Amino acid sequence: MHVEVIAVGKLKEKYWVEALREYEKRLSAYVTLNIHEVPDEPAAETLSDAERLLVLRREADRMEKLLRPRDGIVLMDIQGKAMSSEVWSDTYAGLLGEGFGRLVFVIGGSNGVHPDLRKRARVRWSFGPLTLPHQLARVVLLEQLYRGIRIMRGEPYHK
């Protein structure tokens, strides 16, 4: 399976990059993985609704250039469905059976994602009600993808 991760913003800190590389290495036995970083839109701390929507539109435009019509989009969304690792594994297996060309995981910027991109998502997945830094969310995403695949295949993994 081809898996793409599209994330707003750039990983700068060495420790996040190292953690990401570790899970990329582990996942390479199971999927073809590509990670794309799109620039975040400079924005003030406080935005009007119209300004926020404009920021989200610009970021969505950058992300949509990387999307294809047959992609199965999984949006990382605090308002999405929280899943245990086992439920995520079942969800992943179901997505594999839907015939998507690629699975694309989208991590928006600090202002979220544009509603048009949200509507395209096949699954909206939340890591729960807590707010994670976007850099950490990327690492958690790859770890949970790896864990879910191992569970699906009946291979051992820490419980």
Binding site members:
108, 127-132
Q: Which residues pair with 76 in a beta bridge?
A: 107, 125
Which residues carry a binding-site annotation for S-adenosyl-L-methionine?
A: 108, 127-132
Residue 77 contacts by C-beta under 8 Å, 6 or more apart in sequence?
108, 113, 118, 121, 124, 125, 126
